[in-house]
Structure 1
Amino acid sequence: MATSTTWAQDVITCDLCDNPAQQFCNSCQVSLCGGCINKHVESMKSQTHDIVPFKDRRERLVFSSCASHPNQKCEGFCKKCDEPVCFNCVTGPHIGHIVKNVTEIVQNMKEEIKKETEEIEFIILRFAQSVENIDQKVTNMTEKFNAMESEGENLRKSWHEEIDKIFDTLQSTIRKMKDRRLKALKSHQSRLQDSGTKLKRVAKENKKILKSTKVSDITSHKSDLKKFRDIPTDVDVKIPSLNSNTVQGRELSIELGEFKATLTQTSISSLTDEVSILYVRKLLDNAQVIASIPSKIKPLGAIICIGINEAWAQGEDNIIRRIDIHGSLKEKITTEGQSNPADISVTRQGELIYSDHHNHNRKVNIVRQGRIETLITLPQGWHPDGLCCTKSGDLLVSMTTSDDSQTK
Structure 2
Amino acid sequence: MASSKSIQRAQIHLKFKKAKDHKIITGRHGDDSGQILDFSDISCKDHSGQVCCLFCKTCDCLVCPTGVTKTHKTHELVEIEKAFRMRMEVLKNRKEKLEKQHADLIKKKEILNALKEANKLSIGQTQKDILKQKQIWKETAEQCAEELGSEINKQWKLKEAAIKTESSKVKHFEEHLTDKLQLIEYMNISMDVTKFFEDTKSFDDVKEMPNINLNHSQLTSFVPGQIHQSIFGSIPNEIHKDKIIRIKAIKEYTTELSLVANIIQCSENTFWIHDPLNPNIIQKVTLRPDITIKVLSRINEYAYLTALTRNGHLLISDLTSYLKILIGNENELITSTYNVMPFILKPIHINRENQLIVGAIKKFPIDYSVPGGGLVIVMDMDGNHQAMYEFDRNHEPLFKNPIHITTTNNGNIFIIDRITEDHIRRIVILEKEQEYLYRPS
| TM-score of the two chains, using structure 2 as the length reference | 0.30
After TM superposition, the score normalised by the length of structure 1 is: 0.32
User: Which of these two proteins has the greater Rg computed from alpha carbons?
Assistant: 2
